[in-house]
Structure 1
Amino acid sequence: MRARFAVPLGADFSKLWTSTAVSNLGDGVTMVAGPLLVASLSPDPAAVAGAAFAQQLPWLLFALISGAWADRLDRRRLVATVNVVRGAAVGVLAIAVASGSVGVPLILIVCFVLGTGETLADTASAAFVPALVPPASRPRANSLLYATFNLINQFAAKPLGAWLFVVAAFLPFGLNALTFGASALLVASIRPLPAPSPSRAGRLSAEIAEGVRFLFGHRLLRTLAVTMAVANLVFCAAFAIFVLYAMQRLGLSDVGYGVLLLAFAAGGLLGTLVAPRLLRAVGASLLLRLGLLVEVALHATLALTTTPLVAASMIVIFGIHTTVWGVVVTTIRQRDIPAALFGRVTSVYSLIDLAGAAAGSLAGGLFATAFGLTATYAAAAAAMLAVAVVAWHPLRAAAT
């Protein structure tokens, strides 16, 4: 893999990559520690799922506005400023945990602040690679960013987050606050990237409407967005309570839960390595369609097994699928979305995508409370089978 990424992509991309690596460490640590913190305060599945929903809710409220502002402002300064605010918010949470004054309401508030920041930072930073890297080098840049995410966020940070939580519950959140600050400094050092010209009307509503029209007028992007919205609803409904599933059905400890999450990272890393070969061998449309069947198999396996090794093996396969899917879709979006519309179209895509995730996180806790953990995964498998049937033909049009 070292040889694959040996060709430099420029000093500014190096800063972006380093910033991404640092923030992935903090995000991955908190991704494990957050559910553990909520579970330590309340065993109620709705409380655990509520924290995930609180971080996803801002996408429903602010995604379209954030996309318009990401196309108006200096994206570099916007991301740096938002990271400072997010670092302060998670720093407050770390202090509250250390002092023993933390409660579920504070966690929900911090999650909402972090989610609000994500709507701005993620939308703005999505345009960095097209702005910093020439088209011929973008596949390599995207592969490097995906590999970094899998190695650091998924592979290294998850067990570290669980271990830090066991040592002292405030440590993972304190570390995340520091990584937000470091990421802000690195992004701020990237050369200024002028914002594209605003829409002809110059009104926020008109600019948002341009992004909406472009996405829904683009058949492939529309298909991908709607398909993943439903898939995310199903996935997040099942995995909002995954920490409880791992402990109660698989019998894992806090650390065991963190180790289980390594399976996602292992699969994601393998996906980074095999995605180009698979794309050349079978094509984008078949990869996307078969990926939906992998999601069916994941939920069905988790509904049936009580063996951690079986669950982990299926999660590895699922991790391969998610990375392959991500590489294909990212390349399509960077190719087909104009630079001047990138923030707005990305925000519309994200709103559709994450609306499903937010609804799933909320529904997952309620469904598990009413019907149990196993039933949640069985229902998810059935729902994904229906999604695969409906999306199978439209995804035939995918090409890279």
Structure 2
Amino acid sequence: MAEARKTVRGAKPRFDANYWKLWVATVVSNIGDGVGVIAYPWIASSVTRNVLLIAGIGLAQQLPWLLFALPAGVITDRYDRRNLMVIMDVLRAALIGVMAFVVLSRQDGLPTPEVIEAGLPFAEDLTLYGVLLVGAFLLGFAEVLRDNASQTILPSIVDIDDLETANGRMWAAEGVSNSFIGPLIGAALLGVALALPLGFDAVSFAIAAVLVATLKGTFTPPRAKGAPADRPTWTVEVREGVRWLRAHTVLWPMAVTLGLMMATFSFQSVVFVLWAQEILGADARILAYLGTAGAIGGVLGSLLGKKTAERVGPGTALFLTLVTLAVVPGIVGFARDWRIVWLLLGIAAFIATVWNIITVSFRQAIIPDDLLGRVNSVYRFVSWGMLPAGVITGGLVVRATEVAAGRDLALRMPYLVAAIFTLGVALWARPKLTTEKLEVARAEGDAARKERDAAKGDTPDTGG
């Protein structure tokens, strides 16, 4: 597969059938994810109104990033990345199908949408809560491995010089599917039955698995010529990825910056559904409308992200994204009109997509293929691994504020705290992620990658 890439390098950018199969699989699975964006929080709020219990479901889903991200990197560098994606999608389809059946069997005992929207008390269903908690935890493990394989497979499908364009198109599709089409379908399905969105999500993962399975080629990373027949232990391979990332003068502070930002994101997301219901007066339809802002902003970001980076420089673009992501929650924290929130969420989605296009393409381009899975997993361990910390902190802050100052301020507090914290992160990251440093690192990384790829054998590793 590496040899096939070399033959097209420098040619006119063109994406083959493999890319478009992956693109369609992304669209289908993200429509299902978008349905879940509306359905899962709504189902959770139908089971309990306790902020800490709802935060627990978010924590269960994000905890695998701390527990499994590093082993997932080793797995991704040892085995066929296409097969890993297929297996994880099949497992997620089966797991969500079971959850849908359980919700359907207990649906008659859950409160009506009118009771939820009015904020009226109801009896908690702790059995169903337990199912959601375990399901979220297991889905989190599958997501960690699937996402790592998905990000590391792309450089085997498209030319390195076309990664920004390829990622941009992928995220445009993801944004429309996840934040626009999916939530609207989810809101409609919730009106029919609580279990129906889960069934839809399960089917979407099954279809994505079939599409990814049809990718042609070999997607197991090749090993260097002369490498010993016996692979090092998993801990040795993890340490290699950690050392590589820790020694990099740009990727390491980039990972730390993203980790701090992910913590603030999960900090805010803890209360989002309760905040939208009780402060904005949102029902499932309005929650779906809010999701369209993310879709529109994400599409614009995917189309303009590369041009934005080229016009102002990647370092300046990253700094502006951080500043904007500090301003947005500061305004959201005082808002009461969902239309204003819609506009702010669109801006945030645009900015976040610009960040993703610059940073993901950057690390895909400079990390050697045989290290890409491990370094990518360490990067995401540092960054996404901060999600549980944000969930826990957010839940505690909300609970403490509610006791001291009431429910209204408690639901707003995560946004206000996130604004101040994010501004501090932006000021810390500014001198570490300059345009000059990013361009020098990319040039050096590209040269090192070409040299290392030249030493690779053409026979992929068969695992072990």
Question: Shorter-chain-normalised TM-score: which range?
Answer: over 0.9
Deviation at 1:255, TM superposition (A): 1.5
Aligned Cα root-mean-square deviation (Å): 1.7
The residue that corresponds to 2:174 in the other structure is 149
Write the letter of the residue equivalent to 1:194.
T
For residue 138 of structure 2, give the secondary structure of its aligned residue in structure 1: helix
Counterpart CA distance in 2 for 1:90 and 1:363 is: 28
Contact in 2 for aligned 1:45/1:366 (Cα 8 Å) = no
Secondary structure class of the residue paired with 1:395: coil
1:363 Cα deviation after fit: 1.9
Q: Tell me which of 249, 269, 278 is aligned to 1:239.
A: 269
Alignment CA distance shift 1:369-1:258 (3 Å): farther
Deviates more, 1:115-124 or 1:129-138: 129-138
Paired position in structure 1 for 2:99 = 93
Q: Which residue of 2 aligns with 1:195?
A: 221
Q: Answer yes or no: is 1:250 the counterpart of 2:290.
A: no
SS in 1 for 2:280: coil
Q: Deviations over 1:95-138 (max 9, x none)?
A: 01111176111001111111100121111111111001122332
Report matched runs for 1:130-209 at 5 Å.
Answer: 130-191=155-216, 192-197=218-223, 202-209=232-239
* Offset at residue 10 of structure 1 (A): 0.9
Q: Which has the larger radius of gyration?
A: 2
Contact preservation (8 Å) 2:73, 2:375: yes
Aligned residues between the structures: 395
- Of residues 383, 405, 422 in structure 2, which corresponds to 1:353? 383
Q: Deviations over 1:10-65 (max 9, x none)?
A: 11112111111111111111122101100011111112222111111111111101
Query: Deviation at 1:357?
Result: 1.4
In the TM superposition, residue 313 of structure 1 has moved relative to its aligned partner by: 1.3
After superposition, give the CA deviation of every residue in 1:214-253 in whole Å (9 maximum; x if it has no partner): 1111111101100111111112111221111111111111
Deviation per CA, 1:315-364, whole angstroms, max 9, x where unpaired? Answer: 11111100100100011111111100010011001111112112112222
Secondary structure of the corresponding residue to residue 421 of structure 2: helix
Q: Report the equivalent of 1:76.
A: 82
2:141 pairs, out of 116, 119, 122, with 116
Q: Could you say what secondary structure the match of 1:167 adopts? A: coil
For residues 217-366 of structure 1, the aligned pairs below 5 Å read: 217-366=247-396
* Aligned 8 A contact 1:52 1:240 in 2: yes
Q: Deviations over 1:186-224 (max 9, x none)?
A: 111112323333876621111111111111111111011
| SS of residue matched to 2:377 | helix
Instruction: State the Cα distance separating 1:7 from its structure 2 match.
Output: 7.2
Give the equivalent residue in structure 1 for 2:423: 385
Aligned residue for 1:36, secondary structure, equals helix
- Cα distance in 1 for partners of 2:181, 2:215 equals 26
CA distance in 1, matches of 2:285, 2:56: 23
Calculate the TM-score normalised by the size of structure 2: 0.82
1:398 equivalent to 2:420? Answer no
**TM-score, normalised by the number of residues in structure 1:** 0.95
User: Does structure 2 conserve the Cα–Cα contact (< 8 Å) formed by 1:37 and 1:169?
Assistant: yes
**Percent pairwise identity:** 34
